[in-house]
A and B are shown apart, each in its own frame.
Chain A
C-alpha cells in the first residue's frame, strides 16, 4: 500500500529541482511557426520596425511561448529528478493511472528577446485527494514552474493535473427530472419514445384507443392490446401555467398542457417554445420528443409550425 501523502511530502521537501535548459535559444524560426499555428498576427513578434515602434529594443518572443522553449521535443524524456514526474510515478503505481490537466496559470515578468537562453525549474505544490470526481476517484497534483534567464525569473506557472483511477467515474448526474416508473402495462410506451415514436394503446378486438394504457379495453373488454403510432399532432384541451413553488429541473413559469391528440386520446405534456401568456385552449400543438438522457425520452409539445 503506497502512502501517497507521505510520498508527496517527501517530494515536496526536495523543493525546486535542478534547472533544465531550453534546447534552443529564443529564435525567429520557432516564433514564426508558433504565431502561424496560433494565428497571432501581432507584428512585434515578426517585424523588427514594428517592435521598435512599440518600444521594444528589437524583436521579442510571445510571452505565451514560454513553455515552448523548454519542451523536450518529440522524443524528450522527463528528467529523473522532476517532481511532477516523480509524483505521477507514485500515483501510477497506486493505480491512479489516468491523467487530465485541470489548471494552468502563467505569469510573465518580462518579454524575452531573441538569443536569450532560458532554464526551467519545477517544485511540487499541493497533492490533494482522494477526491470523487466525475472522471473517477483521483488526486489533484499541483506543480510550480519558474523560467529563468540567467538567474532572473522571467515567467512562472501553476500547473495542476488530476490523476484518476480509470473506470471509477460516477455516472453523470441524470437530468434533473422525475423519472416515470415503467410497468408491464406502460413499457411499450416508453420504448416507443426512446425509438422516436409516440405510441397509443389500441385494442386488437375493437380498435379503440386508450391512454394511459391498461390491460383491458374499457370499450369491449378484450385483453389483447397493441398500439398505433400517433402522428404527433393535437390541440390543447386545457393547461396550467405553473408559477409557484419551484419544481426541480424546471424554470418558472412553465406550461403543462393536457393535449387532445388528433387520434382522440388525451395526454399530459410540457408545452415548450411558447410564451405562457399566448397559450389557449384549442391551440394546435405538435410533438417534440425530447431526449432527457440514455434512459428517458419524454414527449413534450410545442405550438404547431403551421400556427406559428
Chain B
C-alpha cells in the first residue's frame, strides 16, 4: 500500500453558488484538510484537472503552500480516477507526501459542459468547428453534432444494436439507472435532487434530448467543488481518519479512448475490458468482490457500458442485469450510491471519488453493508480503493 486517501471535502452543491470557482476550491480543500486534521502548510503536492479554471498558482497563493509536485490530468471526466493515480504515483515515488486533488466548477452558472460553445473554436467572431474530435470538431460540428449528450445517444443506439434488444428494453434499462440514482439522492441531503424523487412515468414524460436519451439520462449541471487528500502510508496511519488505500490505478489511453469519442470501440469493448482485468489483477480482487462501484455517468448509458467494461456484467447484458436487480441496494454491486452525476451533483467525477471514500469508510448515506473494495471508473481510467 503506497498511498491512501485520508481526507475528503465538498462544498454545497447548487445551481447558483454566487461565488467564484476559486472560492469554492478553497472551501472544498479546507474541508478535506480539516477532515483528516492535516495542517494546510504540510501539503506539498497538487493534482488538478486541466479543465479547472482554478490553477496551482491561485491555490498556492491562497494557502501559502510551497509545493514540490504538481500535475494535471486531461480529458475532463477521465480525470476522476486519474487525479488519484497521479497523486498515488507522486507519493509512491517520494516526490510528495501529502497531495491535494480537487475539482471546482460553476457548472451551471459559468461553464455548462453540455453546451457546444465550450468546445468550439472562434474565428472572426464566429464559432467554428476545430480539431478532429467529435462532438464539435471539423468532421462533426458542421452537422450539428455538438454536445456530449448527442455522442452518448449514438453510443446508446449502438449498444442497443449490439445487445440485440428493442429500444423499449434499452429505455427501460436507462430509466432504471436514472430512477435508482435518484432514489439514492433521496437519502443524501447534499444531493441537488434530494427531495425530488423520480418514477418511471415522470422519466418517460421527460423531454427527449437526443433519442434515445431523455433529459433524466443526462448529468446535472452543478456549481460546486470537491477535494481529497492523498498521503504516504506513514501520514495515513498517523491521522484520525481511517485510510482508504489506492490499491490499483490505471490511466488508459488508446486510439479514440479520449472522453466522448464517436470513433473506435464502444466503451464496453475488448480494450476497455483488458484494462479492467489488469486493474483487478493488480488490486487482487474480482469484480464480484466489490462493495460498490462509482461509474462515471455523464449519461445513464455510460453506467451500462461501464458495468460491462469493468466486469459487473458480461458484454451486452448490463441492461438485463439492471432490469433484474437495479443498481441500488438490491444490485450485486451497487453503483453510484450518492446519486452520482445524474442526481447528486456534477463535479466532473470528484463527487464520485468522495462517495467511494465514504463507502470505504462506512459513512455513505446509502452505505453498502458488506465489506470490500470500491471501484471508481471513467472510461479507460480507474482506481480501486480499499479500506
Contacts and interface: CB of A to CB of B under 8 A. Distances in A.
Interface of A: 177-183, 185-186, 211-214, 218, 237-244, 247, 249-250, 253-254, 256, 258, 266-270, 276, 281-282, 296, 298, 300
Contacts of A242: 144, 150, 209-210
Given A178-B120, A180-B129, A268-B143, 5 more contacts: A183-B138, A238-B157, A238-B158, A256-B154, A270-B143
Contact of B123 (A181, A185, A267, A296): A181
Contacts of B146: 178, 247
A238 B161 contact: yes
B126 A179 contact: yes
Nearest to B213: A240
A212 B139 contact: yes
Contact of A212 (B132, B157, B211): B132
A181 B116 CA distance: 15
A268 B140 contact: yes
Contact of B210 (A240, A250, A258, A281): A240
B130 interface: yes
A178 B211 contact: no
Contacts of A250: 144
11 contacts: A178-B141, A179-B123, A180-B129, A181-B123, A185-B132, A240-B145, A241-B153, A241-B211, A244-B207, A253-B211, A256-B143
A177 B143 CA distance: 8
Given A178-B120, A181-B128, A218-B255, A298 B207 contact: no
A243 B215 CA distance: 11
A249 B310 CA distance: 40
Contact of B161 (A182, A269, A281): A281
A56 to B, nearest CB: 61
Interface of B: 116, 120-121, 123, 126-132, 134, 137-146, 150-151, 153-155, 157-158, 161, 207-211, 255, 262-263
A180 B142 contact: yes
A181 B154 contact: no
Contacts of B154: 238-240, 256, 258
Given A240-B210, A243-B210, A270-B144, A178 B127 contact: yes
Nearest to B132: A212
Contacts of B137: 180, 212
A242 B152 CA distance: 12
Chain B binding site: helix, strand, loop or mixed by DSSP? mixed
Contact of A243 (B134, B138, B158, B209): B209
Contacts of A300: 143
B157 A239 contact: yes
A170 B154 CA distance: 40
Contacts of B158: 237-238, 281
A247 B146 CA distance: 9
Given A179-B142, A239-B157, A270-B144, A256 B120 contact: no
Nearest to B121: A181
B150 to A, nearest CB: 5
Contacts of B127: 178
A180 B262 CA distance: 17
Contacts of B155: 238
A256 B161 contact: no
Contacts of B161: 238, 281-282
Contact of B141 (A180, A183, A238, A267): A180
A298 B142 contact: yes
A180 B145 contact: no
Contacts of B141: 178, 180
A89 to B, nearest CB: 39
Contact of B142 (A177, A186, A212, A238): A177
Given A180-B129, A266-B263, A240 B153 contact: yes
Nearest to B207: A244
Contacts of B143: 256, 268-270, 298, 300
Contact of A178 (B142, B208, B209, B262): B142
Contacts of A296: 142
B180 to A, nearest CB: 25
Nearest to B255: A218
Of all A-B residue pairs in the complex, the 6 with the closest CB atoms, nearest first, are: A180-B138, A212-B132, A238-B158, A181-B130, A247-B144, A240-B153
